[in-house]
Chains A and B, each alone.
Chain A
């Protein structure tokens, strides 16, 4: 006799865990299926945890969640081959509890989250892959797993199966992912003594620093680099659009190797012992590339639905929020005695439209296109900025006015006045 649940959640990342947790807490019967050996074993993220989304579900998460450092300083670096120019924002306001942002290690964090999901009453089954959705006409009525006797039924299925979302693709809910809509990111974790991190980044206790990087480290490809401080390690990584990697013929690990050798970055990771290397796709196609996110008896949450704000490097918070809203939709419908039909599940879309999730997705909807067609943002500008700074800061008997003229001249030569104005306009439109 096949099992039947109110809801099956496929995947145990932040979106799936949020959905399963919220559903189980409300008393629905929930089965969560994860293909990894344990929740988190296949999940990869930078990783920054933005407290807000999690706090809305689990207000006391700080008591026992495995968090690394709370962020008190954010650096934005624009790099050329030998320099960086950038801004640092550090504030003691970030030292006031409750902290707003943390670095975390996802394999540990996801395990913790999953324990909370189980404690809330959901049944979690790992090492089991959902091979396809069971359909009755258009309606999703359950899932088929790769195990003998694998059919399991449910009134609704939440697809939290990550960036590739093979299940939704197989069911025909969306077409194959396009290389221009996904970034490929690689990262390494370098372990070093806590004192060394404190000295190097000028922090104490659980304070931490994040560095976001753009510029020539991505060789003109659309992408960014990052460096995060954990308790006893430093995470360093870089990600670029898959289509750009393809076009350039560059491999991600080679890019990371070069980035690690950059004179501004090398000293920060020196002496560390590399213990982990991971790679992952990030859905960065933005609003215009989003698949439909609900239908007859199904909803898509998290990466599977392209819920990533690439400009602000946010993803897990969108994942958690979509997971929570998907769950809340089902809870409401169940309480009202309504079916999980597409017409009723539209409420999920409405909830997201009202939240920051869709507002942000829409705000930056043109960003991917702007950056795709204007590689100068990742190549020329970093170099021009760096040259300008060097010109101004080099004391060599030339008066400042002449230096300014020279800088303006370089900018115009490299991009032309029209190009500069055009770029400004494009960026303004995209950010508007």
Chain B
């Protein structure tokens, strides 16, 4: 079994600040981390490998510095790592990124057929959640989004059963492989790398692919040229002007609480009171 996990190196959004005057994002000095959702995806993949055997390849597209993210993934236990990096990819939106990643996955599968592709639910810098589905579509794979857990894998019959979080509860879904799964946070925790894997990660020669090695056939589908998305404006939301109000209440009885609350609301919106009174009749 061969699992490809797509990861992205992102600026640690917890440490990003917005410039107070220009409203632009200040990236300077912000440390780069592996997109947190991707780590859940990687851990889920590693667990499958622990249970069913096989190989885990991590893949990213990005600038040369993104190699650090891949090395980190190797330290957790991934077997191989591929960095797709080329000037032509600069400025890629989700459409162009999914094209490049899909091409790279096709190349990877030449070495060993890919059964599963994992991605995080979304990145914390773009927050689009579009790249995973885009890759699935391009590779003509089954797509399972918002997966919190892989329940079981049947390697004989090429079937996988997962838990998918939905508004009403949890859906248990079965589909055939190969498929692409986008993973949610919270159901697993990234393991603590072993000493042997730390050594392996610091010595591992990351595969660095340019556009040709990544199998890009149509350069116009990459980078800025292949990116129809336009970011017209970036701004910081202004904080709410209205402050929360604490309403004092005599007793803690539910009845009293609701009476006080209603009185307060009606006091502010007399029209509403009339309307409700009318309908109550």
Contact = CB atoms under 8 A, between A and B. Distances in A.
* B partners with A: yes
Interface in B167-224: 192-196, 198-199, 202-203
A237 B203 CA distance: 40
A261 B104 CA distance: 59
Nearest to A147: B195
Contacts of A145: 195
Contacts of A152: 195
Interface string A140-154: 000001011111100
A210 interface: no
A365 B16 CA distance: 47
Nearest to A148: B194
B202 A124 contact: yes
Contact of B195 (A37, A123, A124, A148): A148
Contact of A147 (B31, B192, B202, B203): B192
A405 to B, nearest CB: 58
Contacts of B196: 149
A147 B194 contact: yes
Contacts of B194: 147-149
B202 A149 contact: no
B192 A3 contact: no
A27 B167 CA distance: 60
Contact of B198 (A37, A147, A151): A147
A125 B199 contact: yes
B264 to A, nearest CB: 41
Residue of A128, A145, A147, A150 with highest tally of chain B CB at under 10 A:
A147
Interface residues of B, number: 10
A149 B198 CA distance: 10
Given A128-B198, A147-B198, A123 B203 contact: yes
Contacts of B198: 125, 128, 147
A147 B202 CA distance: 15
Contacts of A148: 192, 194-195
Contact of A123 (B31, B192, B193, B202): B202
Nearest to A105: B29
Contacts of A149: 194-196
Nearest to B33: A37
Interface in A97-134: 123-125, 128
A151 B194 CA distance: 11
Nearest to A107: B29
Contacts of A123: 199, 202-203
B199 A3 contact: yes
Nearest to A2: B195
Nearest to B199: A3
A112 B192 CA distance: 27
A148 B31 CA distance: 27
Contacts of A128: 195, 198
A3 B199 CA distance: 9
Contacts of B193: 147
Contacts of A150: 195
A429 B192 CA distance: 55
B32 to A, nearest CB: 10
Nearest to A151: B195
B200 to A, nearest CB: 11
A145 B199 CA distance: 12
Nearest to A146: B192
A347 B198 CA distance: 34
A3 B195 CA distance: 10
A367 B147 CA distance: 65
A147 B196 CA distance: 9
A230 to B, nearest CB: 13
A125 B202 contact: yes
A72 B263 CA distance: 71
A337 B192 CA distance: 39
9 contacts: A123-B199, A123-B203, A125-B198, A147-B192, A147-B195, A148-B195, A149-B196, A150-B195, A152-B195
Please name the 9 residue pairs, one residue from A and one from B, whose CB atoms are nearest each other, closest first: A147-B195, A148-B194, A149-B195, A150-B195, A125-B198, A149-B196, A149-B194, A123-B202, A125-B202
Interface of B: 31, 192-196, 198-199, 202-203
Given A3-B199, A147-B192, A148-B192, 7 more contacts: A123-B202, A123-B203, A128-B195, A128-B198, A149-B194, A149-B195, A151-B195
